[in-house]
């Protein structure tokens, strides 16, 4: 079990939480995000503008999906159930958005590295699988 799964029941019972706070670990998650920002603020603002912007975009996508979508998930689970297609769809959207946030973060890291090391070019290209060549 992960930390957020361990925290859900004790926090829900202690706070008598329901609705959007049905998965009450989001409270701890939000506090953790704020502490992380406070601890690393000087580092983040010292990054080059492009890297800093990409870090913020990645963070917003990831946190909005993990905490925000989890709150929607919790509301739905509290009102209905966790064993139906709509709940599964909301959870799938959450996971896809989290992965998108991670992809943006990886791109930010690679872009930052390529700024300091000559000979690295970071980009995304489509490949024609039938002809085994890049599409330009």
Q: What is the pLDDT of residues 46-68, one digit of tens each?
A: 999 999 999 999 999 999 999 99
Please report the pLDDT score of residue 132 as a whole number: 65
3-class DSSP state for residue 130?
coil
CB 69 within 8 A of CB 90: yes
Q: How far apart are CA 76 and CA 85, in angstroms?
A: 12
Domain boundaries along the sequence of the chain: 3-120
pLDDT of residue 15: 81
**Rounded to an integer, what distance in angstroms lies between the CA atom of residue 39 and that of residue 50?**
21
pLDDT value at position 128?
67
134 - beta bridge partners? 127
**CB-facing half-sphere around the CA of 22: CA atoms within 13 A:** 17
Q: How far apart are CA 65 and CA 50, in angstroms?
A: 22
- Could you tell me the end-to-end alpha-carbon distance of the chain, in angstroms, rounded to an integer? 46
Q: What is the pLDDT of residue 85?
A: 95
Low-confidence ranges of the chain (pLDDT < 50): none
pLDDT given at position 57: 98
**pLDDT at position 47:** 94
């Amino acid at each position: 079990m992960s930390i957020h799964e361990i925290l859900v029941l004790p926090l829900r019972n202690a706070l008598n939480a329901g609705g959007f706070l049905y998965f009450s670990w989001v409270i701890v998650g939000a506090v953790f995000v704020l502490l992380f920002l406070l601890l690393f603020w000087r580092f983040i603002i010292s990054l080059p503008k492009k890297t800093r912007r990409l870090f913020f975009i990645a963070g917003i996508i990831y946190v909005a999906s993990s905490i925000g979508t989890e709150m929607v998930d919790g509301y739905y689970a509290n009102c209905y159930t966790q064993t139906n297609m709509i709940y599964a769809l909301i959870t799938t959207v959450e996971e896809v958005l989290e992965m998108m946030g991670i992809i943006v973060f990886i791109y930010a890291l690679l872009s930052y590295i390529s700024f300091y090391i000559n000979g690295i070019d970071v980009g995304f290209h489509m490949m024609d699988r039938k002809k085994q060549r890049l599409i330009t």
